[in-house]
Amino acid sequence: MILGAVLAGGQSARFGSDKALAEIRGHTLIARAVDALSGWCDHVVVIGRELAPAPTLPDWPRPDMGPLAGIAAALHHARDADYETVLTCGVDSLDLPANLPDLLAPAPAFLANQPVIGLWPATAAEAIEAILSGKGRHSMHRFVETIDARPVKCDAGPANINTPADLAAAEKRHGL
């Protein structure tokens, strides 16, 4: 079983407002991310928010620790609920490849140009917990090295919405 997890705990500092609620063609970025993962996963959760169009979980061990804390929360939930893997994406990840789970299988693997988009084994919960609880770098790079995750190159990488200009470019690509 695959748990989908939308990472939505960021502060949207470069965007200037809550980018999860920004819209493209009448749909919020958070709804688009949940819908995308719902097509591939048995269940989808949103990490790092209290209100979302799917069940929510807080970052682990606490907020403001970056995407690794969101992935940690998802891995803990997956492990405790007997999911085999977790498919993650950021709330701002648009245009995910149609074959994303196949592209990333077998876990662990991630998109080389956007490492928060990944397929992680639930058994990686202990490794991510050790990173976030220990000293040293709390980074995606350290996590993927620790669990020996494969970087996967994607010809047409997903859009990553960090600024209003990125949103405008995405709207243009989507014909608005």
At residue 107, the pLDDT reads 98
Which of 25, 31, 26 has the alpha carbon at shortest distance from 176?
25
Q: What is the tens place of the pLDDT at every residue in 161-171?
A: 777 787 777 77
Structure confidence at residue 55 as a pLDDT band (50, 70, 90): very high
Helices marked H in the chain — which ranges? 29-38, 67-80, 100-104, 125-133, 140-146, 164-173
CATH assignment at residue 161? 3.90.550.10
Range of the domain at 25: 2-173
pLDDT one-digit tens code per residue, 71-108: 999 999 999 999 999 999 999 888 899 999 999 999 99
CA-wise closest residue to 15 among 25, 28, 34, 33: 28
* pTM of the complete model: 0.92
- What pLDDT sits at residue 138? 83
DSSP classification of residue 25:
T
pLDDT at 10 over 90: no
User: Per-residue pLDDT for 147 more than 80?
Assistant: yes
Q: How many structural domains does the chain have?
A: 1
Task: Output the pLDDT for position 173.
Answer: 75
Judged against a pLDDT cut of 90, whether residue 156 lies above it is answered with no
Both structure tokens of 134: 């220990």
